[in-house]
Structure 1
Amino acid sequence: MPTAYPTPPQRDSWFAPLSIDLIVKVFKTTFFHPFVVWIIPLCFRAQNMFWDAPPMLVSIAWASFITLCWAAGVINDRLAFGLPREVDLSEEVIVITGGASGLGLLIAEVYGMRGATVAVLDVEEMENGEARGVTYYKCDVTNKDQLARVAAEIERDLGTPTVLINNAAIVFGKPLLSLTFPEIDRSISTNLLSHFYTLKTFLPALARSEVGGTIVTLSSVIGTVGAAQLTDYAAAKAGVAALHRSLAAELRQSHPQIRTVLVTPGQLSTPLFYGVQTPNAFLAPVVEPVDVAKEIIAAIDNGRNAAIGMPLYARWIDWYSVLPLGLQAVVRRLAGVDTAMKTFVGRKGAQKEGKQGVLIQAF
């Protein structure tokens, strides 16, 4: 079973589950869905309404507009991401860094139960001891020699890797003046340099795989907006996003059979950011790891390139940099992005509190 962590303090209310993401999701499956909107004029016609009646004309115009938007979205995705590759889970060997807990463990367990071959790389032991279809390799992803050794063991034991999920991360949550030089080195090495090391180690295997491959990169909205007490983390995540985009451009030319997936989530409900409270649960809800895992798994299963942003604001976060600087300052104050880390406890603090507090399962 996953390690138990205490439940952070919450302001519960009847509308707590309500968020802009939920509203958008409802509209996308109703008034903004091509199939649903065409039912409306058909219903009008079933009531013997004439084609030139105002309600009929309005409903047809709306349905046509939504259909055109849907078609434009399909064309946009095809132009941006190209054709998908064929994926057979029985032939996939999935390597997940930082997969002993949190989001990485969740993805590993899902693929293990579905018949894929999964290798988890982590310096920590797996939280649940073992998982079906998952092989654990103790490995520090910031150590090039350990990575080379483990890569050889994976290819010998499991086969040629076809999917690499760079998920390992660490958060100190300290102001820059409070960070020690070893902490800075460790943060940048784990959150940024390890991506270079794992790519250099596993990319040759993905390139020669007969079924192609997929690379998944975990970034963060903090890499775009930055935040107080996250200077090291923000710098690393910005570098990770730039690395991914540049690598994707290279692979489109040299190895078009390899797909790339960039994941840019907001605050995740994992022990990594335990204690941090979102300032606005409606506009910036905390993202559950299971929701992010669903999107990542869907992208891998479909063999497509993708850019995943969750929650809704994460998909539009790049527009933040377009705003005038004064407006950016106002947005930062309203969002509370620079005060959110004041309640940060982190994984170790959560484990200490968990011995006495109310327990929950952390993904």
Structure 2
Amino acid sequence: MPPYGPPTQRDSWFAPLSIDLLVKVLKTSFFHPFIAWIIPLCFRAQNMHWDAPPMLVSIAWASIISLSWIAMAINNRIAFGLPREVDLSEEVIVITGGASGLGLLIAEVYGMRGATVAVLDVAEMENGEARGVTYYKCDVTDKDQVARVAAEIERDLGTPTILINNAAIVIGKPLLELSFTEVEKSLSTNLLSHFYTLKTFLPAMARSEGGGTVVTVSSVIGTVGAARLADYAAAKAGVSALHRSLAAELRASHPNIRTVLVTPGQLSTPLFHGVRTPSRFLAPVVEPVDVAKEVIAAIDSGRSAAIAMPLYARWIDWYSVLPVGLQTIARRLAGVDTAMKTFVGRAGSKEKEAKRGGKEGVLIQGF
């Protein structure tokens, strides 16, 4: 089985086509200022007069696109402020749930680029040792273990400057079938662990002149909820609220610390093994490498950011504005409350692998 989840099944040649791909193509062509201004220049090269209707329309379009891009830049500047200076040779990156999936991918990229990376997880790293990455066995739901490992990281690697809260588990049961132990485990891993790591690692960042970056991995499920994900949705809603509140506090008290909120849709990782998206065109499964690229770009630039993938995740907050009747219709069309019926999960996929001669299945933290 591939290291970051099962291969994406493609029923036909057009299966990779999605609304996200179309938007990406349009954004780099028809809706890009450079391309937009080429059109009137081409008309002028054909000796078309400036007052000709095609010339006026193309200039108006290019002006609108250019003003839109300028407005987006101003919006980001107001929302996130100026970036901090990032020097990877001086950064110490802590990633929770980094032994597999998205966390492992980010860890390996930064390790190969010369950064100092510490991975915290209850399971061994899927790929064994990775260059530049130091593994620490740690259950992030235990604040005493987090404090102990933080002291070891400080001693071995230096003061952490980047914290990526990525640890997560999915149980995938209806609320009436969840035991109290499972509820506590889910909320501890998906929500309380963020408080523990932030309380442990943030003080050192606050004291550092160079500041730091906090990355929070949440989910669109925290906004819309879903059947068989009551515990997970509640935790992710809390994580998003925690991040926004923390960002507001840090802007006032420690403006040299940047915050990045990641809100993906369904990721192609073992965490959601078996879940099938009802529409690959409107709601494509997100590949970890695509999310990792956005997260790494935000960290490298030293800026705060709000990352949401795929396209619908960027507009998911508008769902709450819809009348409740339309919300019900949208849920049925999207299949959000039936998608978990085929859920196998990381433990289930490991068990299947064990039956084929692999190792015994276990539930591991991390996307």
The number of aligned residues is 359
* Contact 1:284/1:313 (<8 A) preserved: yes
1:331 maps onto 2:317 in alignment: no
Closer, same or farther in 2 for the Cα pair 1:23/1:236, shift >3 Å?
A: same
Q: What residue in structure 2 maps to residue 56 of structure 1?
A: 55
TM-score of the aligned structures, taking structure 2 as reference length: 0.95
* Contact 1:2/1:101 (<8 A) preserved: no
Q: Matched residue of 1:168: which SS?
A: coil
Q: What residue in structure 2 maps to residue 77 of structure 1?
A: 76
* Contact 2:5/2:269 (<8 A) preserved: no
Q: After TM superposition, what 4+ stretches of structure 1 lie above 4 angstroms from structure 2?
A: 1-8
Offset at residue 352 of structure 1 (A): 2.4
Q: What residue in structure 1 maps to residue 200 of structure 2?
A: 201
Q: What residue in structure 2 maps to residue 267 of structure 1?
A: 266
Distance, in Å, in 2 between the alignment partners of 1:69 and 1:105 is: 37
Q: What residue in structure 2 maps to residue 246 of structure 1?
A: 245
Q: What residue in structure 2 maps to residue 191 of structure 1?
A: 190
Question: Any idea what the Cα deviations from partners look like across 1:184-230, whole Å, max 9, x if unmatched?
Answer: 00000000000000000000011112321000000000000000000
Q: Aligned AA for 1:223?
A: G
Q: What residue in structure 1 maps to residue 351 of structure 2?
A: 352
Q: Matched residue of 2:23: which SS?
A: helix
Q: Matched residue of 1:95: which SS?
A: strand
* Contact 1:6/1:350 (<8 A) preserved: no
* Contact 1:5/1:351 (<8 A) preserved: no
Offset at residue 353 of structure 1 (A): 2.4
Q: Aligned AA for 1:45?
A: R
Closer, same or farther in 2 for the Cα pair 1:153/1:249, shift >3 Å?
A: same
Q: How does 1:63-212 map to 2 (within 5 A)?
A: 63-212=62-211
Q: Matched residue of 2:258: which SS?
A: strand
Closer, same or farther in 2 for the Cα pair 1:149/1:30, shift >3 Å?
A: same
Closer, same or farther in 2 for the Cα pair 1:7/1:23, shift >3 Å?
A: closer
* Unpaired runs of at least 5, structure 2: 359-366
Offset at residue 350 of structure 1 (A): 1.1
Question: Any idea what the Cα deviations from partners look like across 1:21-67, whole Å, max 9, x if unmatched?
Answer: 00000000001101111011011111111101111111000000000
Q: How does 1:212-361 map to 2 (within 5 A)?
A: 212-355=211-354
TM-score of the aligned structures, taking structure 1 as reference length: 0.96
Closer, same or farther in 2 for the Cα pair 1:284/1:5, shift >3 Å?
A: closer
Distance, in Å, in 1 between the alignment partners of 2:60 and 2:4 is: 53
Q: Matched residue of 1:299: which SS?
A: helix
* Unpaired runs of at least 5, structure 1: none
Q: Matched residue of 1:86: which SS?
A: coil
Q: Aligned AA for 2:242?
A: L
Distance, in Å, in 1 between the alignment partners of 2:318 and 2:7 is: 34
* Contact 1:192/1:240 (<8 A) preserved: yes
Closer, same or farther in 2 for the Cα pair 1:279/1:45, shift >3 Å?
A: same
Closer, same or farther in 2 for the Cα pair 1:324/1:305, shift >3 Å?
A: same
Distance, in Å, in 2 between the alignment partners of 1:45 and 1:237 is: 54
Distance, in Å, in 2 between the alignment partners of 1:74 and 1:101 is: 35
Distance, in Å, in 1 between the alignment partners of 2:267 and 2:226 is: 15
Distance, in Å, in 2 between the alignment partners of 1:6 and 1:316 is: 28
* Contact 2:102/2:289 (<8 A) preserved: yes
Q: Aligned AA for 1:176?
A: L
Distance, in Å, in 2 between the alignment partners of 1:300 and 1:312 is: 21
Distance, in Å, in 2 between the alignment partners of 1:198 and 1:151 is: 9
